[in-house]
Amino acid sequence: MNELTREQILAMPAGRELDALVRKHVFGWSLIGDGRSKSPDGYQIRSIPDYSTDIAAAWEVAEKFETIEVKRFHTDKGLWFCEIKEKIWHRSYGATAPEAICKAALLAVMGL
């Protein structure tokens, strides 16, 4: 299941590739191409939401976890930091809150 390393996930920019990985690993949907995915039960085909760039979609990701913290650090780069507890704490950062949430979620569900 771990086709990516922790370092690769952390280095990934926000965008469609990150969104597709979240759809697949966090929500369990199959990727079918053209930015679309199929539900785990096979009955729905939908476009992949902009999880890593849209805060409303990112909160759908956050709601999959019982314990999550998202904070903004006031540094010269203005980074966002996200921690998700899934057995252990999984930490990530990003230029935006949605990016940080998506990366931490992937790390958590992939056990990285």
* Structure confidence by residue, pLDDT tens digits, 86-108: 888 899 989 999 999 999 999 99
pTM of the predicted protein model: 0.91
CA 12 to chain centre: 11
**Per CATH, is 6-110 categorized as 3.30.1360.170?**
no
Question: Which DSSP symbol is given to 40?
Answer: T
pLDDT value of position 2:
58
CA distances from 24 to 49, 82, 110 (A): 12, 20, 11
Q: Under DSSP, is residue 34 helix (H, G, I), strand (E, B) or coil?
A: coil
- Taking only the tens place, the pLDDT of each residue in 4-46 is 999 999 999 999 999 999 999 999 999 998 899 999 999 999 9
Domain range list for the chain = 6-110
